[in-house]
Amino acid sequence: HILVSPHTCFLLFVFLLVMSLLPLCNVTGVGELPVPRGLTLSPDFPAQTLSLTWQSDSSLFDLEIFHTELMNVVLNETVAVKADPVTGLHSWTWHSPLPLECTSHSARIRARNQQSVSQWNPLQTIPGSDIPEKSESFMFPQDKVVPVGSNMTFCCIVKEKDDFIEMMYGRQEMSATRLSRRTYAITVTNQPASGNTGTNVICCSQRLTLTGAVVFVGYPPGDEGLVCETRDLASAECSWKKGRDTRFRMKRSRTKYTLNGRDCLEANERRTWWCSSKVWEESWTLVARNPLGTVQLTDSAQLTDRVHLLAPVNVTAVEVEAWSATLQWSWSVAAYKKLEMVCQLQLFAHELSSTRNYSGPGLSSVVLESLWPDVDYTMTLRCGSKHSFWKWGNESAPYRIHTKMDRPDALDVWIWMDSSNTGRVFWKPLSVRKSHGALAGYEVSQSSAEEDGRTPVSLPPGNFSYPIILNNSSDITVAVAARNPAGLSQPSTVTTPAYRADSQLSVSELLGTNGSFVLSWQPNVNASSGYAVEWVPTGCSGLCPVDWKKVPESDCSFTVNSDSLVAGVRYTVSVYSLSTGAPTLLQRWQGYSQEMIPSQSVSKLSPSQTGSDVLLSWKATAMEHQRGFIRGYTVYLANAAHLDLIANISDPEVQSYRVKGLSPSFYKFVVKAYTSAGEDAGSTVDIKIEMDTADMLFVGILVPLGIMFCCLILISICCYKKREWVKKAFYPEIPGPKVPGDWSSPQGPLDVKPSPHSLVHIVENPERDFTKEGLFPVPEEEEESENDNIEVDTDSDEPALLRYYNHVVGDGSHSNQVSDSSGSSTASVGSTQTEITYAGIQSPTSSQGACGGGGYRPQMQSVAGPAEPQIEFEADFQDDGLNTGYKPQCSWQLDSPEAENFSGSLGSPTSVTSSQFLIPESSEEQPQPSNTWFHNFLSGKS
């Protein structure tokens, strides 16, 4: 047993009591919020909205909405909803982004305050079309009308046991989201305008299309500008401008119109956008409505301010003349007969149109005046209310009339004289308005003061000129008239003007301005009928294209338009004063309306050479090819790749140019003529510059002479500077003999002791020329008898002395020769102190000549002093083995100037080792002097 005190028992009782009351406090304790009661769901399937209603004392609630099958939360939001003061119910509406039929939706709610929340109420569900009880395939929404640019969700409910593959929006494959076991959905954003029959949305399986829907995407009404008017002065017709196309064509979706509460069937069915009322109400309201919106338009006006007449009917021409016509018509509304109206008539004819206005009450006929004969006219007529004019009524159907013919108008005639007695009369063709009918031809007649007249000449309608010949000095007047079926025109007369060639009148240069000629001249008092401006191509012959224009006398200027001028053609422009007589020429010009570069180059370009100059000459381009005033010429030298300008000739009269100072070579020249528009293509000529024949002959003579003269000067200078060397090399001096003592004693034998090195061979059979002087041996006996006083060196090994005398063989004077010879021997002995033994001396034969190749040669250097010189002998061996004799030198000229004091025999050449002189050929022949200019030059003597 356990003993418990009273106090302990009391505490245990209190604890048990609290624990028993605790669950009750959790349910209905103080501060706990009650759960909302009576939650109901009300779906609006077309509007895709779900309305929730419940009872609660709170005003702040948490809401949750689910896709029931997969319990996907589509809404979790806290909202403040106050209770309705009458019913005490709380109401809240949710707009579903997809149709509610797509799947089942469930919702629950709980109350909330700042400290706590209540429990959730039980789930409430609305079933969708994907419940098992509905096993068919569906597509939602169906036939929906939405504005362009909206977003939209489509769902496809697949039939049981069918496989879902894809969903298509129009032709675009979309990505689908699964909402439940059978439901798939797509969302399309910013939808474009659909076609006339809407946009198809389809759901496809593996083999076929399961289901589909159509959506209409368009615009709300955009109509504007309501205007009401009357056509019959009683009823009203209202029209308006339709705005942009709503893109709705189906009857249930297109715009519906009401006017003052009445349906406008005309606008709804015939789509004319107008509506009528049988009574003029002065105030109208138009309402335009379609599934996407509504537009309301208003207008108000008085009846007389909005009169719009109908078109005239039964238009007829009751009378048509050449220059006028009367037109009638009628009205389909009787009330028009009293209406003050204005009518407008529009006339259309070939190359012309005009508008004419007529007014009057109930106007139904007009008279058309100032028409042109033989012209087809097409006319239309419309009328309007003259009082408070609103607008022109409808136009009548086109009506055509043709006026009658009349005589042609007078021709514009002119005469152009191409010589002093020939010319041509011209006239301009008549236009349709002036011919007044088809022309049948022309009649030309001429007369003069001395003749009464001439028979007119008929010309076909294609002729516009006729030649005129002057037979006498009087002026001729020419009359020209045009003829058509209605008759002849008034004749146009002109008197032949005096012929003025360009060379007989000062012609001014005329420059074109923008392709035209701007002319001005001084007024002339005699121009009672005005002036005539004539222009014709310069230099033309035959049937020239002459053009002219007649100017009133008040004008002293005129512009020849560019449409009657041809660019690049020179024109002669003349101004004549007109009076009752012949036209008088006042001024004449020549010019181009527009200058161009010449079409052809200069002609006959030719070169001619004069020494080192080339004269280029050419002919100017023909006038018809100049195409502008020639301002000058340019001359070029053509190189391989470009042209070098040589000269610019600014005077067009100069047609030649001289190119100076050309060296011998090949040249090509280009000459171009230029106008203000530029240069022509240029003419080319080439020429090869060669030395002139006279110059070549002159140079051919002077050049060799000059070269030879220079060479001689150079040689002379060189020889002068080297004169000592030349003298020693080519003309050495031979020392002259020195004769000591007295040589006046009688001639005696000369004993010459030969040099041990000298050999004189004796020729056995010498060929002798007895006309020559020779050396003869002297017998010893005679010599001994004559020279007994001379000692003979017997102990010497030298050969015996041979004594010779100079002897002349021939008919000459022996006394002279002996005297000369002894003189020479004496001089020789005195100069050399040498004895020479001659075995024999052979005269040169005729075959060997005077200067044989072999034999004696003198030394090339002079011997000074008594020293014994070196003697050189050359031996020639003949075929018989004998030594040749002495060979004399080629010249017998006296070389030494000291020999001038000796006789002729002293001039003979001698050996430098010999004391014997050689005798000249003849005593009668005087030796040639050796003091020549060349010798003096080499020796330095003058």
| 609-660 pLDDT, tens digit each | 888 889 999 999 888 899 999 999 999 999 888 899 999 999 999 999 999 9
Residue 537 is predicted with a pLDDT of: 92
3-state secondary structure 27-59: HHCCCCCCCCEEEEEEEECCCCEEEEEEECCCC
Q: Which two tokens stand for residue 477?
A: 């007047």
Question: Which helix H or strand E contains 344, and what residues bound it?
Answer: strand 340-349
The type of residue at 375 is V
**17: confidence class by pLDDT, cuts 50, 70, 90:** low
Tokens standing for residue 36: 């909302």
Is 155 strand, coil or helix? strand
User: In the predicted model, is pLDDT for residue 817 greater than 60?
Assistant: no
Q: With the CA atoms of 44, 49, 55 and 60 taken in that order, what torsion angle do they form, in degrees rounded to the nearest 10? A: -170
Same domain, 630 and 614: yes
Which tokens is 627 given? Answer: 């195409």
- Residue 770 tokens read as 């007895």
pLDDT reported for residue 664: 86
Rounded to whole angstroms, how far apart are CA atoms 162 and 156?
12
Output the pLDDT for position 208. 81
Closest by CA position to 920, among listed 904, 903, 901, 899? 904
83 part of a folded domain: yes
Give the relative orientation of helices 693-721 and 723-730 as an angle to the nearest 10 degrees: 80
Distance of alpha carbon 879 from its chain centroid, rounded? 102
pLDDT confidence bin for 788, thresholds 50/70/90 = very low
911, part of any domain: no
Rg value, the chain, Cα: 76
Mean pLDDT of 383-404: 94
CA distance 808 to 853: 26
DSSP state of 259: E
- Edge-to-edge, what's the strand order for the sheet holding 236-241? 224-229, 236-241, 274-277
If you average pLDDT over residues 449-457, what whole number do you get? Answer: 71
Tokens of 722: 């080297």
Residue 859's pLDDT band, with cuts at 50, 70 and 90, is very low
The encoded tokens of residue 95 equal 């707009």
Residue 548 counted as domain residue: yes
Burial (0-12, 13-18, 19+ Cβ within 10 Å), 785 = exposed
* pLDDT (0 to 100) of residue 159: 87
Nearest to 588 by CA among 522, 715, 518, 502: 502
The residue among 914, 832, 905 whose CA lies nearest residue 873 is 914
Identify the sign of the CA torsion 268, 274, 278, 284: positive
User: Nearest to residue 915, comparing CAs of 819, 835, 809?
Assistant: 835
Q: Specify whether 638 is located in the same domain as 683.
A: yes
Q: Which of 70, 63, 120 is nearest to 93 (CA)?
A: 63
Is 826 domain-assigned?
no
Peptide bond just before 664 cis, omega within 30 deg: no
Tell me which of 272-286, 632-646, 795-809 is least confident.
Answer: 795-809
Whole-angstrom distance, CA of residue 806 vs CA of residue 822 = 8
What's the CA gap between 96 and 48, in Å, rounded? 5
Per mean pLDDT, which of 74-78, 560-564, 840-844 is the most reliable? 74-78
Which among 306, 293, 297 has a CA at the least distance from the CA of 267?
Answer: 297
CA dist 860 and 889 (Å) reads 13
Rounded CA separation 749/792 (Å): 14
Least confident of 14-28, 213-227, 372-386, 888-902: 888-902
Query: Which tokens belong to 879?
Result: 């075929």
Q: Could you give the percent of the chain with pLDDT greater than 70?
A: 73
Residue 864 lies in a domain: no
Number of structural domains in the chain: 6
Given phi > 0 = left and psi -120 to 50 = alpha, else beta, which region is 711? alpha
> Using CA atoms, how far apart are residues 336 and 864, in angstroms rounded to an integer?
171
The per-residue pLDDT for range 676-708, each reduced to its tens digit, is 999 999 999 998 887 766 666 777 788 889 999
Tokens of 867: 């020293």
Where do we find the tokens 């706590």?
116
Looking at residue 272, what DSSP letter applies?
Answer: -
Non-local CB neighbours of 58 within 8 Å, separated by 6+ positions:
33, 36, 111, 112, 113, 118
Question: Do residues 208 and 235 both lie within one domain?
Answer: no
pLDDT number for residue 610: 86
Looking at the fold, whether 173 and 245 belong to one and the same domain comes out as no
Residue in the block written with tokens 């002259």: 736
Say yes or no: 319 and 398 in one domain: yes
CA-wise closest residue to 413 among 333, 334, 494, 350: 494
User: Using an 8 Å Cβ cutoff, are 468 and 424 in contact?
Assistant: yes
Q: Kindly state whether residue 522 falls inside one of the protein's structural domains.
A: yes
Q: Which helix (H) or strand (E) holds 200?
A: strand 199-204
3-state secondary structure 886-899: CCCCCCCCCCCHHH
> For all residues of the chain together, what is the average pLDDT?
78
Which of 68, 95, 126 is where one domain is finished? 126
What is the model's pTM?
A: 0.51
pLDDT at 308: 95
Last-in-domain residue among 376, 403, 430: 403
214 and 235, same domain (yes or no) = no
Q: How many CA atoms lie within 13 A of 583 on its CB side?
A: 27
Distance between CA atoms of 749 and 753, rounded to whole angstroms?
13
Same domain, 144 and 214: yes
Q: Which residues of 287-311 are buried (b: 16+ CB within 10 A; e: fewer)?
A: bbebbbeebebebebeeeebbbbbb
Tell me what pLDDT residue 481 has: 94
Same domain, 616 and 573: no
Look at residue 589 and give its three-state secondary structure.
Answer: strand
Q: What is the pLDDT of residues 866-882, one digit of tens each?
A: 333 333 333 333 344 33
Beta bridge partners of 480: 444, 492
| Residues 668/637, Cβ–Cβ less than 8 Å | yes
Q: Are 64 and 75 in contact (CB under 8 A)?
A: yes
Residues 207 and 166 in one domain: yes
Q: Indicate the residue type of 577.
A: S
Predicted pLDDT of residue 789: 40
30-53 residue pLDDT tens: 357 899 999 999 999 999 999 999
> CATH code at 119?
2.60.40.10
CB 248 within 8 A of CB 271: no
Location of structure tokens 């042109």: 372
Contact 704, 696 (CB under 8 A): no
Q: How would residue 244 be classed by pLDDT, with cut points 50, 70 and 90?
A: confident
Residue 46 CA to residue 58 CA, distance in Å, equals 32
Does 710 fall in a domain? no
Burial class (CB in 10 A: 0-12, 13-18, 19+), 249: middle
The answer to whether 267 touches 273, Cβ cutoff 8 Å, is yes
**pLDDT exceeds cutoff 60 at 69:** yes
Question: Of 203, 218, 233, which residue is a domain's last?
Answer: 218
Q: Pairing relation of β-strands 441-448 and 399-402? A: unpaired
Q: What is the pLDDT of residue 751?
A: 52
Same domain, 87 and 159: no
> Residues of 84-96 as b/e, b for ≥16 C-beta within 10 angstroms?
eeeeeebebebeb
Same domain as 589, residue 506: yes
Q: For the ranges 389-403, 548-562, 836-850, which has the lowest average pLDDT? A: 836-850
Task: State the DSSP string of 691-746.
Answer: --HHHHHHHHHHHHHHHHHHHHHHHHHHHHHTHHHHHHHHSPPPPPP---S---SP
Give the list of residues 6+ apart from residue 190 with CB closer than 8 angstroms, or none: 149, 150, 151
Q: 361 is in which domain, residue-wise?
A: 313-403
- Please report whether residue 787 resides in a domain: no
CB 179 within 8 A of CB 248: no
- Same domain for 560 and 640, yes or no, is no
Picking from 534-543, 604-613, 849-858, which range would have the lowest pLDDT averaged per residue? Answer: 849-858
Dihedral of alpha carbons 400, 401, 405, 406, sign? negative
Residue 791's pLDDT band (boundaries 50, 70, 90)? very low
The answer to whether the beta carbons of residues 155 and 139 sit under 8 Å apart is yes
Q: How far apart are CA 231 and CA 855, in angstroms?
A: 165
The predicted-structure confidence for 485-494, as pLDDT tens digits, reads as follows: 999 999 999 9
